[in-house]
């Protein structure tokens, strides 16, 4: 996945009014792993098929916001749901310490 730089519109001065962006919806996604597969093998997949991924158990997963890498973390279970515990925040020009 190619990393892209996220640029806010020039008209938005978030230093003076950071709340201006708080209600903008974003899409968060986590990549559990990838697996190259030929179409013929993809078409053979059926119910209960297992697809091996390139990530190993315990390796960090990547967290994306609108397709931009923002963090890495560990998979966990919270209240019977798969969750991600953030372990590393990727610094960007938009984030200030």
Contact 4, 93 (CB under 8 A): no
- Given the DSSP bridges, would you call strands 61-65 and 28-31 parallel, antiparallel or unpaired? antiparallel
Q: What is the structure's pLDDT at 18?
A: 73
Q: What is the structure's pLDDT at 13?
A: 56
User: What does the block give as tokens for 25?
Assistant: 């919806």
Which pTM does this prediction carry? Answer: 0.63
pLDDT, one tens digit per residue, over 57-93 is: 889 999 999 999 999 999 988 899 988 999 999 987 6
Q: Which domains does the chain have, with CATH numbers?
A: 26-89 (2.30.330.10)
End-to-end CA distance of the chain: 27
CB neighbour list of residue 34: distance below 8 Å, 6 or more residues apart: 53, 54
Closest of 69, 59, 74 to residue 89, by C-alpha = 69
């Amino acid at each position: 996945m190619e990393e892209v730089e996220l640029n806010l519109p020039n008209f938005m001065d978030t230093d003076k009014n950071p709340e201006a962006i708080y209600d903008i919806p974003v899409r968060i996604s986590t990549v559990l792993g990838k697996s190259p597969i030929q179409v013929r093998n993809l078409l053979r997949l059926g119910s209960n098929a297992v697809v091996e991924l390139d990530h190993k158990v315990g390796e960090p997963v990547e967290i994306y916001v609108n397709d931009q890498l923002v963090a890495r973390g560990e998979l966990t279970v919270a209240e019977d749901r798969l969750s991600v515990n953030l372990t590393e925040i990727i610094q960007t020009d938009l984030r200030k310490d």
